[in-house]
Structure 1
Amino acid sequence: MLFAGALDRSGFELFLALAMGHFLGDFGLQSDRMAVEKCRGKDQTLPWQWWLTAHAGIHAFLVTLITGSAWLGLAEWLLHALIDIGKCRHAYGLGIDQLLHLSCKALWVILLFYGLSATR
């Protein structure tokens, strides 16, 4: 786990690490081609599903690495893809897209501190 002792740190510190990971995944590690072709109808080099799955998978990996929870990584993979599908369909713009993604990060912190830790 990259964020060693996730539950030994404050929830705010964990949220910050997840937010930093998110911006790395959405802006640093996402190529221009991936950003465009992950949307249905814009795919030219690979089917859009592959681009979207790969992009959401990068986020899943980052969440898993930071939290140490593959289950949260899997949840991130699914929700990140669904949120991006909504943006691709023009249901909302970049601001709401980013707010939804960061809300997921807050949810992971809540689950780690109050949900998953209760079973340990």
Structure 2
Amino acid sequence: MSEAFTTLFYLLVGHALADYPLQGDFLANGKNRNTPLGKVFWPHALFAHSMIHGGFVAVITGHVWLGIAEAAIHAATDWLKCEKRISLRLDQFVHYGSKVAWALITWWMA
């Protein structure tokens, strides 16, 4: 079980990096279709941001399919947040919950 905690730790570090310093103002504003920048770039910026998250998950878990699942869930969650359909807290809860799921799936498959 310690492998699952190690994987979870790295997944949470990846999330912290991808959602904060690696996101930057361009992706944060560009992924939201309701901002002036997002009116032009939102599909591209949301895809790029989600793929950064998916890349971290794929590299850390060793499973590309988990990275793809992460990218899809992250994109959907961020889109809902940008549309004000969910709160920032729920957005982050889903992101962290996904990381717990990926760690448990990776541990279970080992």
TM-score by length of 1: 0.83
Equivalent residue number for residue 42 of structure 2: 48
Please give the residue correspondences for 1:75-86 in structure 2 after superposition, counting only pairs within 5 Å. 75-86=69-80
| 1:38 CA drift (Å) | 0.2
Percent identical: 35
Q: Distance in 1 between matches of 2:70 and 2:77?
A: 10
Q: Distance in 1 between matches of 2:42 and 2:20?
A: 18
Superposed CA deviations along residues 42-89 of structure 1, whole A, max 9, x for unmatched, are 253742000000000000111111111111111111000001011111
Contact 2:29 2:37 in 1 (8 A): no
Matched pairs, number: 109
Please give the residue correspondences for 1:20-99 in structure 2 after superposition, counting only pairs within 5 Å. 20-44=13-37, 46-99=40-93
Q: Distance in 2 between matches of 1:43 and 1:24?
A: 25
Amino acid at match of 1:110: L
Q: Distance in 2 between matches of 1:38 and 1:62?
A: 19
- Aligned CA RMSD, in angstroms, stands at 1.7
Equivalent residue number for residue 12 of structure 2: 19
Q: Does 2:107 match 1:113?
A: yes
Equivalent residue number for residue 98 of structure 2: 104
The 1:43/1:76 distance shift into structure 2, 3 A limit, reads farther
Q: Distance in 2 between matches of 1:54 and 1:92?
A: 21
Q: Higher helix share goes to which structure?
A: 2
- The structure having more radius of gyration, on CA atoms, is 1
Give secondary structure in 1 for the equivalent of 2:70: helix
TM-score by length of 2: 0.90
